[in-house]
Chain A
Amino acid sequence: MNDLIGQIFHSLALVLADIEAWLAPYLPGLNWVALLAFAFYVILILSGGLTAILARNLVRATLGLIITFLGVAGMYLLLASPFLALMQLLIYIGAVCVLIFFAIMLTKNTADGEEAQAPGPLNLIYAFLTVVAVLAVAGPTIVTGTKDIVVRLPVDTGSNLGEGLLSMDLLSFELISIILLVAMAGAVYLAWRPQGQLDAKNEKRESA
C-alpha cells in the first residue's frame, strides 16, 4: 500500500519535472524569484519600521515591529539559514513581542497618553543623534567586516551553530548573556519595593 503511494508520488513528480522542463524558457529564472522575494522582505522591513515609529498607539507600533521581524526572518531564509529564520520567529515574535504587549497591557495605557502627542523638537534631535551614533559605529563594520561571514558559516544546522557558539564565538556569546543578566537584574531592581513600603502604600490606598 505505502509502496504504491510512493510509486504514484514518484511518477507525479516525474510528470511535473517534464512540464517544468517544457515551461522553463518562458519562466523567470531563480535569480528573479530571489530578487522579488528580497524586494518583498525589504518592503516588509521598511514599512514595519515606519509603522513602529509613526504610529501614535503603542499596540500598533508593536505590530509594526512584528512586521519588521517577519521581514528579517525572510532575509535569513534568503541567506539559506532556515534555522535562524525560524529562531527569529520563535524568539522575537513569540517571546519578545508578546512580552512587550504584556508590558503595554499591564501599564496604564490610554489612547490620549504621552505617546499619542506629536514629539517636540528636542525629542527629534535626540532620535536623530541616536540613529547617527549607531550608524557611525555599525555602518563601517557591516560594510567592511562581513565579507568572510558566508565562508565562515557554511550550513546553519543546529550542531554547526552550537559548535560555533561554544568554540569560536564563545566570548561574544558569554558577553551577550552577561548583558541579558544585567538587564534582568536592573528590571528587578526597578520593580523592587521593600515589603514594609508596599504594605504602607496599600494601607494608604485602602484608607483613602
Chain B
Amino acid sequence: MDLSLAIFVQIIAAVLLIIALMVGNAVVMVYMERKVAGFIQRRPGPYEVGPWGTLQAVCDSMKLLAKQLYRPGNVDLILYYLAPITAFFPVLLLFLAIPFGPWLTPLPVNDGIVLILAFAGLGVLSNLLAGWASNNKYSLLGAARAVSQTVAYEIPMILALLAVVLQSGSMDLKRITDQQGQWPWEWNIVLQPLAFFIYLVSLVGETNRAPFDLPEAESELTAGFHTEYSGMGFALFFLSEYANMLLVSFVAAVFFLGGYKGPFADGFWWLFLKAYAVMFFMVWIRWTFPRVRFDQLLNINWKWLLPLGLINLWLTAIIVKIAL
C-alpha cells in the first residue's frame, strides 16, 4: 500500500464518520435496549420525553456530558484517567477494516480480521487498568473476572472465525464477503452452522453482556470495574462497550451472514440490517436468561465451546483439504 494524500484523507474522513457512528449507535441501542426490556417485562419502557420516548437517550447523554467528574481518594491518578481513554480509542481502529459496501472499506488491509482481533485485545486492558486504579475492592474483583472471562472466550471466538478463514482461504474481510452470494442459502452460516453458534455464544462472553456480565454484575459488585467512574469517564466506557457490541455484530455479519450482500441490491444497508439483527438477539437473550455463576461461565467455555471449536476446525480443515 502506497502512502499518499488520498489515503490520509480517506482515513481521517473514515475516523470522523466512525466516531459519529459510535455515538449514534449508543443512543439508538440504549433506546432499543430499554424498549425491548420493557416489552419483555410487560411494561412501557421510556415514553415521557419526545414521541414514544425517543428523546430519552439523548437527554441521558446530555446529562452525562454535564455531570461532574468525581474522583475518589487515593487512586492511581495516571492509570485512573488512562483507562477510559484506552477503552475508547482502539475501538475506532477496529471499524477501519470493515467492508461497509462494495466501494466502502475505510482502510483495505489483507489481514483485516487479525487487525480487529489484535486491537480488540486492548479492550480488556482498559478494564484491568480501571479496576486496578480505582482503589476499590469491587472494581478489582470485576477486573479480575473480566480478564479470566475475556482470555477464555477469545479462544473459541478465534477458532470459529478461523474455520471460516480456512474455508475461504483469506483473512481479508472484503474477500470473505465476495465469496458469499446474495441469497441467504449462499451465506457461510449454511456451511458453518456450528462455528456461527460458537461465535454467537462467545461474542456475548467477549462483550461482557448478560447472561455473561460477571465483570459488572450489579447485584454483586455494584458496577464492577467502572464503579468509581462518573460523568465522561463512565460515558467513554459505555460508548466503547456499545461500539464493541456493534463491531462483533459487524464481524458476525461479514463472516457468516454475507456482509453487505443481500437480495436485490448490495450495499451498506444490508450490513447494518444484519448487524442490528445480531444486536437485537444480544438484547433479547440479556432479558431472557438469568446471569450464570462464574464457575458455570468458565465451564461452558473450557468444557464445551473450546472442544466444539477444535472439532469444527479439524473437520473444516479435512473437508477443505479433500475438496481442493
Which A residues lie at the B interface, using CB under 8 A?
1-2, 5-6, 9, 12-13, 16-17, 19-20, 23, 30, 33, 57, 59-60, 63, 66, 82-83, 86-87, 89-90, 93-95, 97-99, 101-102, 105-106, 157-158
Residues B110 and A20 in contact, CB atoms below 8 Å apart? no
- List the interface of chain B (C-beta within 8 A of A): 3-6, 9, 76, 78-79, 82, 101-104, 109-111, 114-115, 117-122, 124-125, 128-129, 132-133, 140, 143-144, 147-148, 150-151, 154, 171, 265-267
**B104→A90 contact, CB < 8 A:** no
Complex Cα distance A16/B13, Å?
13
Nearest CB of chain A from residue B178's CB, rounded to whole Å: 13
Q: Is the CB of B144 within 8 A of A105?
A: yes
How far apart sit A95 and B6, CA to CA, in the bound complex (Å)? 35
Q: Given A2-B101, A5-B101, are A157 and B110 also a contact pair (CB < 8 Å)?
A: yes
Residues of A within 8 A of B117 (CB): 90, 94
Chain A residue nearest in CB terms to B169: A159
Complex CA–CA separation, A158 to B112 (angstroms): 12
Cβ distance A173 to chain B, nearest Cβ, rounded Å: 19
Contact of A82 (CB < 8 Å), options: B104, B109, B140: B109
Residues of A within 8 A of B5 (CB): 16-17, 19-20, 23
Cβ–Cβ contact A98 & B119, under 8 A: no
Given known contacts A5-B101, A5-B104, A102-B144, A13 and B114 CB-to-CB distance under 8 angstroms: no
CB distance from A16 to the nearest CB of B (A): 4
Decide: B6 and A16 in contact? CB cutoff 8 A.
yes
Q: Are A93 and B122 in contact (CB under 8 A)?
A: yes
* Cβ-neighbour of B267 out of A2, A23, A99, A157 (below 8 A): A2
Contacts of B102 on A, CB cut-off 8 Å? 2, 5-6
- Given A16-B5, A17-B4, A102-B144, does the pair A158, B171 have CB atoms closer than 8 Å? yes
Main secondary structure of the interface of A (DSSP, over half): helix
* Contact in complex: B79, A63 (CB < 8 Å): yes
Q: How far is the CB of A151 from chain B (nearest CB, A)?
A: 22
Q: Once bound together, how far apart are the Cα atoms of A98 and B132, in whole Å?
A: 13
Return 24 A-B CB contacts under 8 Å, by A number: A2-B101, A2-B266, A2-B267, A5-B104, A20-B6, A30-B3, A59-B76, A63-B129, A83-B114, A86-B118, A87-B114, A89-B119, A89-B122, A90-B114, A90-B117, A90-B118, A93-B118, A93-B125, A94-B117, A94-B121, A98-B121, A102-B147, A105-B140, A105-B143
A8→B154 CA distance, assembly (Å): 39
Residues of A contacting B118 with CB < 8 Å? 86-87, 89-90, 93-94
User: Which chain B residues border A158 with CB–CB below 8 Å?
Assistant: 111, 171
In the complex, how many angstroms separate the beta carbon of A115 from the nearest chain B beta carbon?
15
Q: Are A98 and B147 in contact (CB under 8 A)?
A: yes
Contact status A1-B265, CB under 8 Å: yes
Q: Which residues of B contact A30 (CB under 8 A)?
A: 3
A173 to B122, alpha carbons, bound, how many Å? 27
Knowing A16-B9, A59-B76, A94-B122, say if A86 contacts B151 (CB, 8 Å).
no
Most chain B CB neighbours (cut-off 10 Å) among A82, A99, A157: A82
Total A-B pairs, Cβ < 8 A:
104
A5 lies within 8 A of B103 (CB): yes
A90–B4 Cα distance when bound, in Å, is: 28
In the complex, which residue of chain B has the Cβ closest to the Cβ of A106?
Answer: B144
Q: A86-B115, A90-B118, A158-B111 are in contact. Are A98 and B104 (CB under 8 A)?
A: no
B79 to A: closest C-beta gap in Å: 7
A2-B103, A17-B4, A59-B79 known; A99-B121 Cβ under 8 A = no
Task: Identify the closest chain A residue to B74 (Cβ).
Answer: A111
- Shortest beta-carbon contacts, A-B, top 6: A94-B121, A89-B118, A20-B5, A90-B118, A16-B6, A6-B103
Determine if A97 and B125 form an interchain contact, defined as CB atoms under 8 angstroms apart: yes
Which residues of A lie under 8 Å from residue B103 when comparing CB positions? 2, 5-6, 9
Distance (whole angstroms) from the CB of A49 to the closest CB of chain B: 18
Given A82-B109, A86-B114, 5 additional A-B pairs, CB 8 A: A2-B266, A13-B6, A63-B79, A86-B111, A90-B118
Most buried by B among A23, A94, A97: A94
User: Are B151 and A95 in touch, CB under 8 angstroms?
Assistant: yes
* Residue ID in chain A nearest B90 by CB atoms: A89
Q: Report yes or no: A98 in contact with B4, Cβ–Cβ below 8 A.
A: no
CA distance A60 to B120 in the complex (A): 21
**Closest CB-CB distance, B313 to chain A, in whole Å?**
15
Q: Shortest distance in angstroms between A4's beta carbon and chain B's nearest beta carbon?
A: 9
User: Does A17 contact B267, Cβ atoms closer than 8 Å?
Assistant: no
Q: How many Å lie between the Cα of A63 and that of B117 in the bound state?
A: 20
* Contact present for A83 and B111 (CB under 8 Å): yes
A99, closest chain B residue (CB): B151
Q: Which residue of B lies closest to A94 (CB)?
A: B121
CA–CA, A26 and B78, complex, Å: 40
For the complex, give the distance between the alpha carbons of A57 and B135 in Å: 14
- The reply to whether B267 and A1 contact each other, CB–CB distance below 8 Å, is yes
Residue pair A66, B76 in contact (C-beta under 8 Å): no
